[in-house]
């Protein structure tokens, strides 16, 4: 289906991009276009102006600080994460990016677009919450940093509001991480997913069961403690053609245990 007519701008600085986003009420940032162009084709979104982020060098690149903190530019693609020597400092990032859709989507889709679209079935929102990442947001009044667990506000809604851009994601050092999902077919949309990071206790973030990832903490040494933590969260997931709410609650326990087992190095 053809797109509705839309204005297009391709700024070369974050400052100009933020100015353009603030000047036009109907403006939307365009990253890899793997979600946005599809929803525009389906007429589910109809922006007046697309602000293409492709030429923003400040949003590209992956750097590893001496203290082990990874800086991932918002416009870094999944394929770039998978190929990056620096990103291997936190190997789960490349492992999870490799599970997203297919090679075409991985070559175009960006980590910034993934978290900013905050589709509850996406892979990266629970991962970023479990890893304790920090999201860097630029707006007309300057920059701010938001912890991942406060970034996701609702379905398709994040702390990067109108007129703002996610510029970078910082991921603290660590290696004891895991991710598990039950998807619709191989590499398909997740029915339930869970990410875990173990550093003393386990930080577990469950996806697809609520509008935003559900963050839990549990003793990683005992599978029963992980299951109990999931049960104690009283999850209220949706029912749809792929899974009932009860089945999703059941899967949430299973993927949480698997993610923690991988994080402990026991998978």
Ligand X SMILES: Cc1cc2nc3c(=O)[nH]c(=O)nc-3n(C[C@H](O)[C@H](O)[C@H](O)COP(=O)(O)OP(=O)(O)OC[C@H]3O[C@@H](n4cnc5c(N)ncnc54)[C@H](O)[C@@H]3O)c2cc1C
Residues lying near ligand X in the complex (CB under 6 A) are found at 28-36, 38, 53, 74, 100-101, 105, 109-110, 112-114, 116-117, 119, 122-124, 160, 165-166, 189
Residue nearest to ligand X (CB): 113
Find the shortest distance in angstroms from Cβ 214 to ligand X: 17
Taking the least distance from each CB to ligand X, the nearer of 49 and 225 is 49
Separation CA 112–CA 138 (nearest Å): 13
Distance in angstroms between the alpha carbons of the first and the last residue of the chain: 45
Contact criterion met (CB below 8 Å) for 96 and 109: no
Find the shortest distance in angstroms from Cβ 109 to ligand X: 2
DSSP, res 241: S
Find the shortest distance in angstroms from Cβ 232 to ligand X: 27
Q: Among 207, 103, 234, 222, which Cα is nearest to 149's?
A: 207
Q: Which two tokens stand for residue 102?
A: 């297919």
Taking the least distance from each CB to ligand X, the nearer of 20 and 124 is 124
Separation CA 190–CA 243 (nearest Å): 11
Find the shortest distance in angstroms from Cβ 186 to ligand X: 11
Find the shortest distance in angstroms from Cβ 6 to ligand X: 13
Find the shortest distance in angstroms from Cβ 126 to ligand X: 10
Taking the least distance from each CB to ligand X, the nearer of 66 and 142 is 142
Find the shortest distance in angstroms from Cβ 209 to ligand X: 15
Taking the least distance from each CB to ligand X, the nearer of 77 and 262 is 77
Taking the least distance from each CB to ligand X, the nearer of 191 and 218 is 191
Taking the least distance from each CB to ligand X, the nearer of 45 and 215 is 45
Strands (E), 40-176: 49-52, 62-64, 70-73, 134-139, 142-147, 152-154, 157-158, 165-171
- For helices 245-263 and 223-232, the axis angle rounded to 10 degrees is 140
Q: How many helices (H) and strands (E) does the chain have?
A: 10, 14
DSSP H helical ranges for the chain: 14-23, 36-41, 78-83, 92-97, 103-108, 111-117, 124-131, 148-151, 223-232, 245-263
Buried b (16+ CB within 10 A) or exposed e, 10-44: ebeebeebbebbeebeebbbbbbbbbbeeebeeee
Taking the least distance from each CB to ligand X, the nearer of 67 and 186 is 186
């Amino acid at each position: 289906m053809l797109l509705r007519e839309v204005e297009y701008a391709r700024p070369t600085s974050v400052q100009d991009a933020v100015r353009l986003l603030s000047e036009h009420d109907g403006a939307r940032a365009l990253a890899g276009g793997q979600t946005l162009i599809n929803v525009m084709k389906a007429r589910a979104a109809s922006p007046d102006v697309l602000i293409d982020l492709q030429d923003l060098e400040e949003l590209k690149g992956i750097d590893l600080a001496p203290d082990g903190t990874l800086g991932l530019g918002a416009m870094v693609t999944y394929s770039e994460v998978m190929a990056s020597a620096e990103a291997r400092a936190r190997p789960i990032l490349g492992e999870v990016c490799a599970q997203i859709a297919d090679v075409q989507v991985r070559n175009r889709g960006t980590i910034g677009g993934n978290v900013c679209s905050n589709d509850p079935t996406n892979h990266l929102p629970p991962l970023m919450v479990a890893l304790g990442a920090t999201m860097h947001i630029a707006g007309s009044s300057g920059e701010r940093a938001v912890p991942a667990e406060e970034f996701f506000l609702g379905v398709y809604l994040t702390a990067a509001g109108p007129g703002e851009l996610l510029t970078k994601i910082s991921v603290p050092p660590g290696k004891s991480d895991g991710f598990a999902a039950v998807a619709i077919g191989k590499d398909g949309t997740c029915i339930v997913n869970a990410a875990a990071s173990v550093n003393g206790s386990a930080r577990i973030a469950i996806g697809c069961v609520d509008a935003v990832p559900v963050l839990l903490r549990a003793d990683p040494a005992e599978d029963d403690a992980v299951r109990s933590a999931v049960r104690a969260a009283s999850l209220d997931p949706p029912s749809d053609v792929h899974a009932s709410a009860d089945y999703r609650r059941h899967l949430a326990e299973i993927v949480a245990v698997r993610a923690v087992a991988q994080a402990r190095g026991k998978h």
